[in-house]
Structure 1
Amino acid sequence: MIDLTITSPPYDDLRNYKGFTFPFNDIANELYRITKPGGVVVWVVNDATIQGSESGTSFKQALYFREVGFNLHDTMIFKKRNPIPQIYRKRYNNEFEFMFVLSKGQVKTHNPIMVDCAHAGLELNGTTYKNYSKNDQTREKLANPVKDKKIKGNIWEYVVGKRQEDQEAKGHPAPFPCELVRDHVKSWSNKGDLIFDPMCGSGTTCRVANELERAYIGIDISPDYVALAKQRIVNNEYQSRLSFVD
């Protein structure tokens, strides 16, 4: 059974994936079947714009995941620091993708990423924050002084394709950054857990899982992408945990 899946599907035919089809409903149902209770699926997805309208595929997929039994634990944003400039079509340049965090029941593992507080150590004078309770919203006092660290927000920003570790994936049309996968692996799993990518493409999920001392399974229908993924993993320094099945 799988502890954590991190994957990005070939959504809305925005890229050429060598002509292979994408049976979303079958994949969603199988992901629910093989995920451990408390396990997580991170589904990175976006929408095409067709005849002036976004397709809404991302939302349809998130809702279907709920139909098969997953909780929509969090809707996160992958913000690109270097988005590809687009031809002006009376809309703003797209700079993000969705990262739907889906859970099978209540999330078992969460190792939150902590960031510095902007006003660490500041002595407050009567400042309050809103408590989003189920019924009435109340205001309570903040920690005084302000803490040094806080849990990171759910908009994560990355440079795409510029780092050396991401340059290795140039043979694939749409790899996501290693750092994105690294943050999710650290957040939703522990050492020794099993990480899965059913559309592993250039092998980024497997490469990072291996680096962070997790077991991993990667699947791809394209022999070319399988070869690329294998090479990327072999080339990193954590070779002792490698195993391939053709």
Structure 2
Amino acid sequence: MLPGPDADPGPPRGRANTLVCEAPADSDDPYWAFYEEVASAQLREWLPAQPARVLDVSGPRARFARQMVTAGHQVVRVVAQAESADPAVGPGALLPVVGDARSLDWFSPASFDAVLAEARALSFCLATETTLDEIHSMLRPGGRLLLCVDSLLLGLARLAEQHRWAELSDVPRADVVLVPAEDGTITRCFWPEELRALLTSAGFVVDWIRPRTVLSAEAVKRAVAEDVSCFPTLVRTEVELSAEREGESIGIHLIASARRPA
């Protein structure tokens, strides 16, 4: 389904007028502040109520891990290079482990209660099927997975922006859609139906697949510019809208919750 007039047409544009897929580290754009609060609220709703052992494969930014530790969980965070553990960030504990988040077979089977793959982590795992199989293996029965990936809507927009018309026309026939970025990285983009099929093939039961955002960037910017006090209400509204639009391809990213059968 194509987005309606109030749906997210894509992220704000960067300095080079190219599509930006995540918040720049130094961004002061109100949309990205909003986006990150929405992601935080969605994670808070998803986290287990009781303390759990969680594997975080969400990439270099530690904000998700810190949020989980503050909520009382024991978090093992995969990092690209060594960094010190920070036992003081909350009632839980944070353990950084150096490794490759794209290949997780070095963890013991059934060793985690939950896995978090935020920040488009599985879009960077081009062999997503293999990574999902490994995640399924390391989850305990009943264990849960929360992930965020690039939507195919974003992939189509990026191909059009790069004038890759041949690749764009091939998308309807493609089994896998890989999209290059300006910096040379390649990401995998998904329709909700494709993501559901991959999760099911890996042995997961899919709870839901949702757009991360529904409100457009311009709508958020206008609302905040007119009344900054509306920010918390906007975040709550966005989380509710995302749940209501379950299964739809709206916005730049999809989020999904799945579990290993008990």
Please, what TM-score do these two structures have when normalized by structure 1? 0.34
Higher helix share: 2
Larger Rg: 1
Which one has more relative contact order, counting CA pairs under 8 Å at least 6 apart?
2
Instruction: Judging by fraction of residues, say which structure has more strand.
Output: 1
